[in-house]
Structure formats: structure tokens, C-alpha cells
Amino acid sequence: MIWTSAGSPRSRNNPFATLALASGLLAICGTAHAQAPESVLCHANIRKLDAELQATERRVDALNNAAKAERCSAMRVHLNVLFRAKDLYGRCLREDQREQRLPPLSGSTAYFRTYVGENCSEL
């Protein structure tokens, strides 16, 4: 699509634009398909995110007696990972697995959201 000096769009057969659009659509469709429960990509993403959750949780624990700014920063990072995990688990786990893993995750998310909201808002 090209915009003329009059401000109206004009189509032109641009192979690069067509290629970019096709690549984008393939990426979107491929990601949606690959993120189906039991897919290899889902399993890999869950393993990676589980490791990231453990790492951020250890960091929060290690900074228990640190300055408030450091603690809040670590908690914000952990909260972000919790949100991502909740989304990924919702998409990638089977129903029985979701029922097992999402409730504790929701509880942790609620706790950290409340803590950060009450203690870290001024930072």
C-alpha cells in the first residue's frame, strides 16, 4: 500500500511487502499450532519457564534482608515470570495438569501482586 500525495492509499505489487505479510502470517499460525498442549515447543517453553521461576524465587529468597529497592525489583521480576507462567500453563498444559498447577500459581501471583502493590509503589 502506497500513500499518494492526496492522502489516499494506492496498491502496488510489492514482493517484499507480500513476503513480509506471508512470513508474519506463517509465524502467527505456526506459533499458534506449535503451542498446542503436548507440543514439543510447549514442553520446551514450560521447562525453560519452570527454571526461570525457580531462579527468580531463589533471588527473592536471597534478598529477604536486602534493601527495599533490591527486594522490590526482584519481586517485580518474579511477578512478571509468574504472569508469563500462568499464561503459558493455561495454553500448554492439559486440563488435569492445569487444575493441579494453576491454583498454587494463582495464589503466589496474588501474594506477590499485593506485596508489590502495598510495599513497592513508591519505588
Q: What is the pLDDT of residues 6-61, one digit of tens each?
A: 544 444 444 443 334 434 433 444 444 445 667 899 999 999 999 999 999 999 99
Q: What angle do CA 30, 31, 34 make, to 5 degrees?
A: 80
Q: Tell me, yes or no, whether 21 lies in a domain.
A: no
Query: Using CA of residue 84, residue 106, residue 77, residue 116, what is the dihedral sign?
Result: positive
Q: Tell me, yes or no, whether 28 lies in a domain.
A: no
3-state secondary structure of 21: helix
Q: What is the number of domains present in the chain?
A: 1
- pLDDT score, position 25: 39
Higher pLDDT, 29 or 115: 115
Q: Tell me, yes or no, whether 8 lies in a domain.
A: no
User: What confidence tens digit (pLDDT) does each residue in 69-84 have?
Assistant: 999 999 999 999 999 9
Q: Tell me, yes or no, whether 97 lies in a domain.
A: yes
* DSSP state at residue 14: -
Range of the domain at 91: 38-123
